[in-house]
Amino acid sequence: MIRHVVLFTWTEDATEEQKATVATELRKLPGIIPEIRSYTADADAGINQGNHEFGVVADFDNVDDYLVYRDHPQHQKVIAEHIRPIIASRAALQLTL
Amino acid sequence: MIRHVVLFTWTEDATEEQKATVATELRKLPGIIPEIRSYTADADAGINQGNHEFGVVADFDNVDDYLVYRDHPQHQKVIAEHIRPIIASRAALQLTL
């Protein structure tokens, strides 16, 4: 199984509406991309200082299924229209489980 | 459930032995800290360019159990002795599942 993890911080001028839209749009993807086995897209829980602000953890059966998600036009559309305009920093990793 | 995620990049002069020791030492923690429900500590799978190099994904029943892990002396010892000396960058997040 492949677990994809990506963490973001947002620009200072990103609005609450823009941040909320990222979550709303990403959460539509499991209904569109059947290769997604498990999907969480949410803001940081607020326990620690200095964290990134938003994260996605997504599980796939194998690398090919992850690549279907990564390159899916609807995912790329969310990135281009809603994520990229407000990214301050991004940290990503894929783990083999 | 609380899912703790932390991603690292290592300094350029970090050795393969130092990097491997981080994984070895972290993977001992589930045997020492019973509050850990699920634990993965591993290097990036190498699918994408530009990723962070190493990540931990750890699940806990609740915030208090996560804090036991975060503040556990054995965990803090691994951070102080093996992780902090080779950190170039760190990105973290906790998700409520």
> What pLDDT, on the 0 to 100 scale, is given for residue B16?
98
How far is it, in rounded angstroms, from Cα A45 to Cα B76?
21
Query: Which pLDDT does position A72 carry in this prediction?
Result: 98
Edge to edge, the sheet with strand B38-43 lists B38-43, B54-60, B2-10, B87-96
Q: Which helix (H) or strand (E) holds B8?
A: strand B2-10
CA A7 and chain centroid, separation: 7
Which tens digits make up the pLDDT trace of A78-91?
A: 999 999 999 999 99
Mean pLDDT of A37-63: 98
pLDDT at B15: 98
Which of A57, A35, A34 has the alpha carbon at shortest distance from A45? Answer: A57
Pairs across A and B, CB distance < 8 A:
88
Cα–Cα distances (Å) from B95 to A47, A86, B29, B53, in that order, read 10, 20, 20, 21
Confidence of residue B62 (pLDDT cuts 50, 70, 90): very high
The reply to whether CATH 3.30.70.100 applies to domain A2-96 is yes
How is residue A54 written in tokens?
Answer: 């938003």
Please give the pLDDT value at position A51: 98
Tell me what ipTM this predicted complex has.
0.95
Instruction: Calculate what percentage of chain B has a pLDDT beyond 90.
Output: 100
Query: 3-state DSSP call for residue B79?
Result: helix
- Residue A93 distance to chain B (closest CA, Å): 5
The answer to whether residue A2 neighbours chain B at the CB level (below 8 Å) is: yes
Question: In 3-state terms, what secondary structure has residue A48?
Answer: coil
Q: What is the pLDDT of residue B40?
A: 97
Residues of A in contact with B52 (CB under 8 A): 91-93
Say what the pLDDT of residue B61 is. 98
Integer Cα distance of A74 and A79 in angstroms:
9
A94 interfacial to chain B (CB closer than 8 Å): yes
Hey, what are A97's tokens?
């489980």
1.10.10.10, 3.40.50.1100, 3.30.70.100, 3.40.50.720: CATH of B2-47+56-96: 3.30.70.100
Helix (H, G, I), strand (E, B) or coil at B81: helix
Residue range A31-54: mean pLDDT, rounded: 98
- Nearest-CB residue to A94 (from B48, B89, B93): B48
Q: State the pLDDT confidence band at A75, using cuts at 50, 70 and 90.
A: very high
Average pLDDT over residues B23-43: 98
| pLDDT for residue A18 | 98
pLDDT given at position B17: 98
Question: Where are the domains positioned within chain A?
Answer: 2-96
Asked whether the CA dihedral A91, A31, B40, B19 is positive or negative, the reply is negative
- pLDDT band of residue A67 (cuts 50, 70, 90) is very high
